[in-house]
Structure 1
Amino acid sequence: MTRIGAVAAHFGRDLDRAVAKVEGIVADARAAGVDLLVLPDATLGGYLSDLRHPDPSALPPGLSEDSYPVQRIRAMAGPMVVCLGYSEQVDDLLYNAAVCVSGDGVLGRHRKVHQPAGESLVYAAGDRFEPFDTPVGRLGMLIDYDKTFPEAARSLAQGGATILACLSAWPASVTDRASRLPQDRQSRLFDLYDCARAAENQVVWVSSNQTGVMGGLRFLGQAKVVGPGGDILARTSSKGGLAIAEIDVAAEVARSRRLLHHLAELAPHAYLAHGTED
């Protein structure tokens, strides 16, 4: 059995405060026997404060895998597998990135591929989805808007990942905000994508998210663990919290694929390829 924790929490620009907050969350998760902990996108340094017109003078700090905050979290993880988001600096480029660590080192990494609204004004885009092996099984990572595109999760599942971790800084609607978060259009879509991607690929889906406010963005929370049938096993509200579910990943994935195996029964020859020439 694997105990999986999905985090809903607010993280801002203050790196020292973020590391201290993660230390408390990791301690709580360890006390609860968590094996895999998924923190939100932009855990270290926070997300953008405006999606349409990002302020170039107030961006998240650029870090590397070798920087102190990332290495401090790696050290505190110990035997636990921990996924977290940060802004990765590579020469003059900044990526919205995620890294998966344990006390043994870096297990895997991902750079956000799909970019909403004005995010491309700040971040360079990643160009791949690569699953990797961890002590809790083969895992793949996505970053918020990536989950809107079915092909992203599907490519990780086809690569053998049975657990998909989606780290988000997903806000309420910018153009048509509801008075209460649960009624917001983006709140509905956030949950819909989580459940659909798990069921489509018959995998365990772990969805973390930011909470609170950053500039003009109000984040939804709604962290959750979803089973391979699309059923929500544990979740938080719009406030901070830790959703924990215990599941035999291999057994439940195998059970969901026993009669209907979506990956094995794909028919790619039937999918029309647009824009190709003879």
Structure 2
Amino acid sequence: MTLIRIAAAAAHFGRDIEHSLGRIGKIIDDARASGAGLLVLPDAAIGGYLADLRHPDPASLPPALEPDDPVLGRVAALAGDLVVCVGYCEADGEDRYNAAVSLHGDGVLGRHRKVHLPAAEALAYRAGDSFAAFDTPVGRLGMLIDYDKTFPESARTLALDGAEIVACLSAWPASLTNAAPRMSQDRQSRLFDLYDCARAAENQLVVVSANQTGGAGGMRFLGQAKVVGPAGNILARTWGKAGLAVAELDVAAEIAAARRVLSHLDELRPEAYR
């Protein structure tokens, strides 16, 4: 039996990178104190998210970092023996991507560029074009960035690539077009939880979902960080508050148990799909 503790963070991050690094360091310390081996931070934890999702202002976009920017090296140094997934804006020449990187004290373990761009996000970012799993000290891992998890093919591609854990990094706001009086009644709040549980259950793997809290521009971020087991069961959650959702489990054993009778990946019929 190989038990690991997995932590998903709900926290607010803005434009000030030094302030973000301080907050990341504190969250890493808290995750380490909890015994976690994996910490998933929100999308845009380094440099913040867009201030306006519908009409992004080119003059106030998040700072773009090169893939080898020293800031990422500083996060890796903070991570030490933890595996840490963190979101940022990535520069590639004149192009910008909403990106995530998985880091360890030894360096970069894996990368992802957000493939599915909602609303007017395409005015600020280019879309990524692939999903790939990678090996880490806590198991084979894949990453999604918020709207990616709306599409079942995203997590399924990672599962077929051997991912045991899918890290979902989000800056997911409450509904922009149909505000509810209570967050629990918000359409996007319900969908956020639904997608986390569905992606875990349909692929019979572990989903670790982090999200921003607080606000930016006219947006309110949901929080609702959680760890979801291979049966789609929520093992730990933060609800709408900032904090860490921490769960301890034997990932391989949980996946094997979920797939013992019905193994979704083995029973796929791709020849019937269009």
TM-score of the superposition, structure 1-length normalised?
A: 0.97
Report the 3-state secondary structure (helix = DSSP H, G, I; strand = E; otherwise coil) of the residue aligned with 1:255: helix
Tell me how far 1:49 sits from its aligned partner.
Answer: 1.1
**Equivalent in the alignment of 1:3:** 5
**Equivalent in the alignment of 2:37:** 35
For 1:135 and 1:155, the matched residues in 2 are separated by 21
Tell me how far 1:120 sits from its aligned partner.
Answer: 0.2
For 2:129 and 2:253, the matched residues in 1 are separated by 32
For 1:50 and 1:77, the matched residues in 2 are separated by 31
The letter for the 1-side match of 2:92 is: V
Give CA-to-partner distance per residue, 1:99-158, whole Å, 9 cap, x none: 000001000000000000000000000000010000000000000000000000000000
For 2:253 and 2:126, the matched residues in 1 are separated by 38
**Equivalent in the alignment of 1:109:** 111
For 1:20 and 1:118, the matched residues in 2 are separated by 30
Q: Is the 8 A contact 1:200 1:262 kept in 2?
A: yes
**Equivalent in the alignment of 2:18:** 16
The letter for the 1-side match of 2:111 is: R
Unpaired segments ≥5 residues, structure 1: 274-278
The letter for the 2-side match of 1:121 is: L
Give CA-to-partner distance per residue, 1:54-99, whole Å, 9 cap, x none: 0111100001232232111100111100000000011100000000
For 1:65 and 1:38, the matched residues in 2 are separated by 19
Counterpart pick for 1:186 among 185, 188, 196: 188
**Equivalent in the alignment of 2:165:** 163
**Equivalent in the alignment of 1:86:** 88
For 1:66 and 1:196, the matched residues in 2 are separated by 34
The range that moved more, 12-21 or 48-57, is 48-57
Give CA-to-partner distance per residue, 1:15-52, whole Å, 9 cap, x none: 00000001111111111111000000000010011111
**Equivalent in the alignment of 1:227:** 229
Report the 3-state secondary structure (helix = DSSP H, G, I; strand = E; otherwise coil) of the residue aligned with 2:65: coil
Report the 3-state secondary structure (helix = DSSP H, G, I; strand = E; otherwise coil) of the residue aligned with 1:101: strand
Superposition pairs of residues 1-278 of structure 1, within 5 angstroms: 1-271=3-273, 273=274
Indicate the percent of aligned positions where both proteins have the same amino acid.
67
Report the 3-state secondary structure (helix = DSSP H, G, I; strand = E; otherwise coil) of the residue aligned with 1:117: coil
The letter for the 2-side match of 1:187 is: S
Q: Is the 8 A contact 1:65 1:71 kept in 2?
A: no
**Equivalent in the alignment of 1:276:** none
The letter for the 2-side match of 1:205 is: V
Tell me how far 1:269 sits from its aligned partner.
Answer: 1.2
Q: Is the 8 A contact 1:222 1:238 kept in 2?
A: yes
The letter for the 2-side match of 1:133 is: D
For 1:253 and 1:158, the matched residues in 2 are separated by 14
Give CA-to-partner distance per residue, 1:181-228, whole Å, 9 cap, x none: 111000000000000000000000000000000011110000000000
Report the 3-state secondary structure (helix = DSSP H, G, I; strand = E; otherwise coil) of the residue aligned with 1:44: coil
Give the total of aligned pairs.
272
For 2:88 and 2:107, the matched residues in 1 are separated by 17
Report the 3-state secondary structure (helix = DSSP H, G, I; strand = E; otherwise coil) of the residue aligned with 1:57: helix
The letter for the 2-side match of 1:189 is: L
Q: Is the 8 A contact 1:204 1:225 kept in 2?
A: yes
